[in-house]
Structure 1
Amino acid sequence: MSERQQTTATISRLSTSDAAFHHRLDELLDWEGVSDKAVQARVEEILASVKQRGDAAVVEATNRFDRLAVTSMDELTLTPEQLESAFHNLPAEQREALSSAAERIKRYHERQKPNSWQYEEADGTVLGQKVTPLDRAGIYVPGGKAAYPSSVLMNAIPAHVAGVREIVMVVPTPDGVLNELVLAAAHLAGVDYVFTIGGAQAVAALAYGTESVPRVDKIVGPGNIYVATAKRAVFGQVGIDMIAGPSEIMVVSDGVTDPEWLAMDLFSQAEHDEDAQAILVSWDAEHLDAVEAAIERLLPSLEREAIVRESLRRRGALVLCQDAQEAITLINRVAPEHLELSVAAPIHG
């Protein structure tokens, strides 16, 4: 094992010049390995239970996984008045920030909206495209280890722009903790139903419908390994946006950026959960050393240190490549969810 192919206590160090590099990279990127047979079996059991027993199964699973003690879905349902109250009780600065973000998202997606069209050929044949909005969409909003009001806005507002009639939101609240920003975003985005449920049981409720949760036509939004596995399983019963794996980021640096800034950028995705992936690529070995030192220095100051540390240990990497062109090859190979080019000048493939 070469000096650059070692694994530290915090994050792996890889080098493209090492003979085993591509094998190591494949192992690092193998998210399917995270979704093992045990996870799939557990998800299938939950899906079957919710499909057969409806609300009772959802309540049972929610109590088990979110450490609650509720007796009915009424206790897991939020009213429009609760959402509105959350919005108005926010500090003015937060209300304004949410409102500004919502307006920008709406303007963008109004330009993206596809339109119906048709034309008639000489023989009288009429051809065209008819764009019809879905009746009901379900949005999954992470609410376990972190809460993201942006997920509410980015999923609900495009649905409204498209003309979707009803929007059903699910968000887990482990230990009964509600995130006021998430609820405020739901009010601002015009969500019709909000249920404080998560995991595979929430996906099942949206896909099959229960006595309380309306069945939807499509499920969108990110979640953990159980959510992703459940979405894969119900695809066909309902539409889904994609099989989204854990959050991931690749940063490419030319060695000029402050190492502490880059460390924090890696943390920004690693903090999502232990399966998240953060990779930094550079052709400057000393720069990678500096970033690694910054990671070690800053980690103890993080509120979510344990999650970040585990994410970096399991799926993170600092990769030394030969030059900018090889970095581009790695970008295309990994095709990350988030790509950051921290370079003084553009790099071209």
Structure 2
Amino acid sequence: MTQSAPEIAVTRLSTRDADFDACLSSLLAWEGVSDHRVQQSVAEILAQVKAKGDEALVALTRRFDRVDATTMAELTIGPERLQAAFDGLGDEQRQALTVAAERVRHYHEQQKPTSWQYTEADGTVLGQKVTPLDRAGIYVPGGKAAYPSSVLMNALPAHVAGVREIVMVVPTPDGVVNDLVLAAAHLAGVDHVFTVGGAQAVAALAYGTESVPRVDKIVGPGNIFVATAKRAVFGQVGIDMIAGPSEILVVSDGHTDPEWLAMDLFSQAEHDEDAQAILVSWDEAHLDAVQDAMASLLPSLEREPIARASMAARGALIACRDVGEAVELINRIAPEHLELSVADPEALLPQVRHAGAVFMGRYTAEALGDYCAGPNHVLPTSGTARFSSPLGVYDFQKRSSIIHCSAEGASTLGRTASVLARGESLTAHARSAEYRIRD
């Protein structure tokens, strides 16, 4: 594994290198909730909130977010404040937020599953009933940046799913409240907003306090303490996923403007120092050009120190032999965001098995998906796209099986059930079924 010229530190790899597999594995390695110290701290916070409710929540918020509050009323934002935040936006911001919300809502309306049933010849009815959750909790990050887009992406699918009540928690370090986040909560129809964050906010949603309603499911990304807390309360409540740092994998055929690709990589690297941005191409001269563009453009970023640290620690430019090898890397990495910056992305799509979201063609910047394209930006990270999906309407609904046997159907099924139950030595099962068998 070698480092580039000093203008921008980024790992350069080649699939031809003997140690490529080991180097790539090392680069991809991420375990965000394994630190024992973090787990112990989170366990203590969860226990405090579970035992003392609002009192612990206020004390922990004072301690970690440096908020001068003595009651939960001071950490609660009502609908009038949300409305005022929305009304107070400039015309351009209000219009952009509204357009994004409309597109996100419309996309997720296409996801709505429906209940179904069918009737067998003997009159037995089988089916599935789809029911929304009663109450969902959404965690909106509020540390290094404010994310109104996360409000839309978490709350609107819940609304489309039919969730009755949405509870939002958002940290406000040093008491700084972001009006764009509050405006998004108004636009997305959030019912309750509490300015609390971290593991203590997850605990409040999971267990409930005197002020914070207990929810059925917690969704939304957060830092290592939030991720650890979500894992700890799973089972007490549902969760969407354990989110790791943001990541992007760009595959380029060498014909996309290097500056476009450099900025696409930075769009993830600027999230935080642990974010990961990787470019794969079979054109090494193109990789050189992108690296030069990165060195030139990096100083122009407002969050340049964060992006620089991210690229140095976890970024990479990878040279592969051909497009087939690039596809193999896609499926091995299973990225959160995948850009297919090639002439014919449709030809590659059937070969892509693992990716959270796929951005097709040179003009589809990943940033469009973060804000307003429509699909959800809450996506599986750290290789979990191998078995996980983007957040969607289905995450806010549950399914119940429907079985309604006719007398004839109960008799027919009873004979089969009896044989299988007695084979398992479950006599009561067998006899329960046998009572319904007709002679």
The alignment partner of 2:146 has SS state of: coil
The worse-fitting range, judged by mean Cα deviation, of 280-289 and 57-66 is 57-66
CA distance in 2, matches of 1:338, 1:17: 25
Equivalent residues in 2 for 1:65-144, closer than 5 Å: 65-144=64-143
Q: Which has the larger radius of gyration?
A: 2
Q: Could you report, residue by residue, the CA deviation over 1:60-91 in whole angstroms, capped at 9, with x for unpaired residues?
A: 22222223222222221111111000101111
TM-score (norm 1): 0.94
CA contact (8 A) 2:86 2:179 kept: yes
Q: Could you report, residue by residue, the CA deviation over 1:235-272 in whole angstroms, capped at 9, with x for unpaired residues?
A: 11101111221111111112222222111111111111
Q: What percentage of aligned pairs have identical amino acids?
A: 76
1:233 corresponding residue in structure 2 = 232
The alignment partner of 2:168 has SS state of: strand
CA distance in 2, matches of 1:34, 1:202: 17
CA distance in 1, matches of 2:46, 2:27: 30
CA contact (8 A) 1:59 1:72 kept: yes
1:59 shift after superposition: 2.0
1:21 corresponding residue in structure 2 = 20
1:277 corresponding residue in structure 2 = 276
CA distance in 1, matches of 2:17, 2:37: 34
Q: Could you report, residue by residue, the CA deviation over 1:249-300 in whole angstroms, capped at 9, with x for unpaired residues?
A: 1111122222221111111111111221111111122222222222222222
The worse-fitting range, judged by mean Cα deviation, of 238-247 and 24-33 is 24-33
2:423 corresponding residue in structure 1 = none
Structure 2 residue ranges without an equivalent (≥5): 352-439
Distance 1:129 1:29, change over 3 A: same
Distance 1:34 1:120, change over 3 A: closer
CA contact (8 A) 1:254 1:343 kept: yes
CA-based RMSD: 1.7
The worse-fitting range, judged by mean Cα deviation, of 307-316 and 339-348 is 339-348
1:176 shift after superposition: 1.7
TM-score (norm 2): 0.75
CA distance in 2, matches of 1:123, 1:187: 52
1:6 corresponding residue in structure 2 = 3
CA distance in 1, matches of 2:152, 2:183: 10
CA contact (8 A) 2:75 2:195 kept: yes
Which amino acid in 2 is paired with 1:22?
Answer: D
2:321 corresponding residue in structure 1 = 322
CA distance in 2, matches of 1:79, 1:317: 45
Structure 1 residue ranges without an equivalent (≥5): none
CA distance in 1, matches of 2:296, 2:50: 49
2:190 corresponding residue in structure 1 = 191
Distance 1:25 1:34, change over 3 A: farther
CA contact (8 A) 1:225 1:246 kept: no
Q: Could you report, residue by residue, the CA deviation over 1:85-140 in whole angstroms, capped at 9, with x for unpaired residues?
A: 01011111221221122222222222211111222222232211011111100011
